[in-house]
Amino acid sequence: PALQNAPRFKSTKSRAPLAFALDIDGVLLQGSSVIPAAKRALDILQGQNPLGIKIPFILMTNGGGVTEEARCKKLSATLGIEIAPDQLMQAHTVLRPLAEKYSDHSILVLGGKGNKGREVAQSYGFKNVHIPLDILAWNPTIWPFHQLTEEEKSFVQSTDFSKTPIHAIFVLHDPRNWSLDIQIMTDVLRSPHGVVGSEYVPTTRRYSHSQSAIQLAFCNPDLIWRNEYHVPRFGQGAFKEAFQAVFRAATGRNHPFTQFGKPHEVTYKFGEKMLHDLIYKPVSEGDIMENEKDIPPSRIYMIGDNPASDIAGANAASWSSILVRTGVYDPAHAPPAHQPTYEAEDVEEAVKWAFERET
């Protein structure tokens, strides 16, 4: 019976827990292909290790575009082990606590395929969620180069945007129609109080700050990321550069924004809380609560493929960092811009090295 109530993860010996944060793209997956070392690394964390115990880990990705539940279902099937939603942090997971603040306000979300961005925001509790295609449906002349497909007509929501002030724009994942999204973002951000139907002079060099009361946030700063293609692909960071270049050409300045995602501190703080809850939160009534101790940051191992995001963020958070060669980073090009604690061929070697070092 005691075992039934045992916490999900026992800490190693009497020491504080050892924990891992695994990046996804370029570490576990390349696009839809599973990196061979990933399964072996996850087996070690699931208990196939000298201590014979499960080691707590989360997946910490700048990716996203679907709900955590949907992504976990797909990841569990692809990786062949159960990944629970409380083990997955996507680029936009940090937005979940913000839903309350916007309960009476309209927001515009970008990114993700079709209606998926709206579904993510609604799954966090945001109530009045719009997507750029809703605005196109309201007035097709706002961007004459895209006609709604039959599928898009099935999920766009009809709203009179001349009466709907938008209070925040969240770029959750990679936009699929950069030109439409940049036009709509600019219309919203430059319209007084975010009422997209109102007049403004499109190329005013002067840009009054009062109009920037609308929060603009990007959830993933990655300029590049790695899928099956042999050269890294442009990520959401590239979209941000494109938006700011157009906005600057029209107004003479960048638009202020908030940046979430690795390497930013807010993301790593969120990851520490997830790991803490994973280890200490009772899973069911009557669970034995391990004597709660903070996890020393150095006992959290970030395993990533992108020095600019994974390694930079882990180093800044005083975590241990391991850079692998199966993604963006290629030792043949140049030394890493951010020095990891250790450099490994792949995620299996990384987990084995950390395990030997810490137990």
Residue 239 CB contacts under 8 Å (≥ 6 apart), including other chains: 171, 174, 175, 178, 181
Question: Which one, of 95, 93, 99, 178, lies nearest residue 132 by Cα?
Answer: 178
Q: Kindly determine how many residues on this chain lie close enough to bind Mg ion according to the rule CB under 5 A.
A: 6
Window 215-234: contact mask with ligand G3P (x via CB under 6 A): -----x-x--x---------
State which of residues 30, 61, 87, 106 lies at the interface with ligand G3P (CB under 6 A): 61
Interactions with ligand G3P, residue window 290-329 (CB under 6 A): 306
* Binding segment (CB under 6 A) for ligand G3P, from list 19-27, 33-41, 127-135, 157-165: 19-27
**Choices 149-157, 199-207, 256-264, 321-329 (CB under 5 A): range interacting with Mg ion:** 321-329
Token digits of residue 176: 């699929």
346 counts as binding ligand G3P under rule CB under 6 A: no
Closer Cβ to ligand G3P, 24 or 156, answer by number: 24
- Residue of 63, 112, 132, 340 that binds ligand G3P (CB under 6 A): 63
Shorter beta-carbon distance to ligand G3P: residue 62 or 87: 62
Cα dist from 245 to 115, 180, 233, 248, 303, whole Å: 27, 15, 20, 5, 33
Say if CB 167 and CB 214 are below 8 A apart. Answer: yes
Distance separating alpha carbons of residues 353 and 345, to the nearest angstrom: 11
- For the chain, give the number of residues: 359
DSSP reduced 3-state for 166: strand
Tell which positions 184-213 bind ligand G3P, by CB under 6 A: none
Binding of residue 23 to Mg ion (CB under 5 A): yes
For Mg ion, which is the closer residue by CB, 72 or 328?
A: 328
- Least distance CB 346 / ligand G3P (angstroms): 14
Question: From start to end of 8-160, where are the E strands?
Answer: 19-22, 29-30, 33-34, 57-60, 88-89, 106-110, 128-130
Tell which one of 19, 24, 137, 354 touches ligand G3P (CB under 6 A).
Answer: 24
Among Mg ion, ligand G3P, none, what does residue 62 contact (CB within 5–8 Å per kind)?
Answer: ligand G3P
- 232 forms part of the interface with Mg ion (CB under 5 A): no
What is the SS3 assignment for 205? coil
Angle, alpha carbons 141-144-146 (nearest 5°): 120
- For Mg ion, the binding residues (CB under 5 A) are 23, 25-26, 305-306, 327
- For ligand G3P, the binding residues (CB under 6 A) are 23-26, 61-63, 174, 220, 222, 225, 235, 306
